[in-house]
Amino acid sequence: MNIRAASLLTACLSLIGCAEPSAEKMLENYVSRVSNALDQPIEFKPNTAARLPAFPLRRERLLEIAPIREGLLDVLEFRQCNLLPLISERNSNLGRVMQPSQQLRYELRFLPALYDCRRQLMADPHENSSTFVNRVNEIIAHKERELPKLIWNSIYTSSEMEQQFSLAKTALPLESQGRISDIETALGAFIRISELTQLSEWPEPRMIQDIEKYYEVLYRNASGGEWLTSIDWLTYTLSQVAEGIEARLDRRAICFNQQPNNQSAIVRNVFLNFYAGELQPYLSQVHQFGERWLSSHELILTNLTLPDSMLEYQQKVLSKTHPDGLWQTYTQARDRHTLAWQRLLDQCGMLPSAPIVLDDSE
């Protein structure tokens, strides 16, 4: 090998050695360490796509919105409420191709304007025709009926929200503290918007001036998809390691009469350095992210109308209580993993006097 080739190889190895450690590598290393310490084969082949359902296609998520009866808005009487410019905006060429965020902003302006119009008309009923008042009430009732579906369409059929559920993502980084904050701010705005469906009348929300900013946050910070990968990989890893520990202990005891030996010292080192030292901090961050991310979606969805295609997805991915859902499957794997380690340490007389609590997120 000539000097130039050797230099290139050294540089490449240096770059590889300096690469930022990933969650997948950390989990793979943890499984390998436990496997070697126990002299027990443990497979590590995470494949998120095989376990998590895909976010339904956009056409399957889109709810049909009933149109306002023809001619209901085509009246000059709305001029007295100063609504003609707003009506014309929606019926313009640009208004017909509004993006979901723009549609939502428009509707959150239009319905409060209708409320104002009704109050104005009712303030002096003798000066206004009852036919027009009834027409305004009919439009308001229609808009209120369709609002849960419209908000659903505007948020959950947007390309920005799709980023939050994409499985074509890597896992959350090992240091992911604070990753949820921006997303939580955006989702918090959508929570407040969804809560409008429970009110009888409301003013124009101030946050709609910044609504595009919230959509942009979801697009640029795709940590929701990263969390889905993380929680799936963790569930898989915890289950594999628990199964490996259980199989090893069922095969043959590591320690005789709870007396530590050379192998138990290796096991203890793996427990302290790779379980408590590396896996637990990451597990805690992912757990806390999931608690807040799932809770935000739950608060939004509880006020909206969901298409049939989302009902199963909601149970399997977004529900924290469904027995076969992502969250409950993860917590069961976590608890099984903890119990397996307790059994292993207890066999060698190394179980701490206090219970092992390596997930401080609860």
Average pLDDT of 335-356? 85
Instruction: Give pLDDT, residue 124.
Output: 79
Query: Which two three-digit tokens encode residue 288?
Result: 């806390």
38-47: pLDDT as tens digits:
999 999 988 7
Average pLDDT of 141-145? 95
- The alpha carbon of residue 29 and the mean position of all alpha carbons in its chain are separated, in whole angstroms, by 27
Instruction: Give pLDDT, residue 169.
Output: 77
| In the predicted structure, residue 271 carries a pLDDT above the cut 60 | yes
Average pLDDT of 203-219? 93
Distance of alpha carbon 261 from alpha carbon 255, whole angstroms: 7
Distance of alpha carbon 170 from alpha carbon 223, whole angstroms: 9
226-248: pLDDT as tens digits:
999 999 999 999 999 999 999 99
- Please give the share of the chain, as a percent, with pLDDT higher than 90: 65
> Comparing 75 with 226, which gets the higher pLDDT?
226
The mean pLDDT of the chain is 87
Instruction: Give pLDDT, residue 68.
Output: 81
Residue linked to tokens 């307790």: 342
Helices (H), the chain: 3-17, 23-38, 48-51, 58-61, 84-91, 100-123, 130-156, 159-162, 179-195, 211-220, 223-251, 262-270, 280-301, 308-313, 326-347
| In the predicted structure, residue 20 carries a pLDDT above the cut 80 | no
Instruction: Give pLDDT, residue 49.
Output: 62
Least confident residue range of 15-24, 61-70, 108-117: 15-24
Q: Which residue, 361, 329, 344, 167, is CA-closest to 238?
A: 329
Q: Is the Cβ–Cβ distance between 267 and 36 less than 8 Å? A: no
Instruction: Give pLDDT, residue 71.
Output: 66
308-333: pLDDT as tens digits:
999 999 999 999 999 999 999 999 99
Q: In b/e form, how buried is each residue of 72-95, taking b as 16+ CB within 10 angstroms?
A: eeeeebbeebebeebbeeeeeeee
- The alpha carbon of residue 95 and the mean position of all alpha carbons in its chain are separated, in whole angstroms, by 31
Distance of alpha carbon 279 from alpha carbon 51, whole angstroms: 22
Q: Is the Cβ–Cβ distance between 309 and 61 less than 8 Å? A: yes
**Amino acid (1-letter code) at residue 241:** V
Average pLDDT of 194-216? 94
Average pLDDT of 199-220? 93
Query: Which two three-digit tokens encode residue 271?
Result: 């427990």
168-191: pLDDT as tens digits:
778 999 988 878 998 999 999 999
Top-confidence range, 27-36, 45-54, 217-226, 347-356: 27-36
**pLDDT level of residue 146 (50, 70, 90 thresholds):** very high
Instruction: Give pLDDT, residue 13.
Output: 40
**pLDDT level of residue 74 (50, 70, 90 thresholds):** low
Instruction: Give pLDDT, residue 81.
Output: 85
Residue linked to tokens 């209901």: 72
Instruction: Give pLDDT, residue 353.
Output: 59
**pLDDT level of residue 35 (50, 70, 90 thresholds):** very high
- The alpha carbon of residue 161 and the mean position of all alpha carbons in its chain are separated, in whole angstroms, by 10
| In the predicted structure, residue 222 carries a pLDDT above the cut 80 | yes
Instruction: Give pLDDT, residue 78.
Output: 80
**259 pairs with which residues across the strands?**
256
- Measured in degrees and rounded to the nearest 5, phi and psi for residue 92 equal -75, 170
**pLDDT level of residue 14 (50, 70, 90 thresholds):** very low
**pLDDT level of residue 12 (50, 70, 90 thresholds):** very low
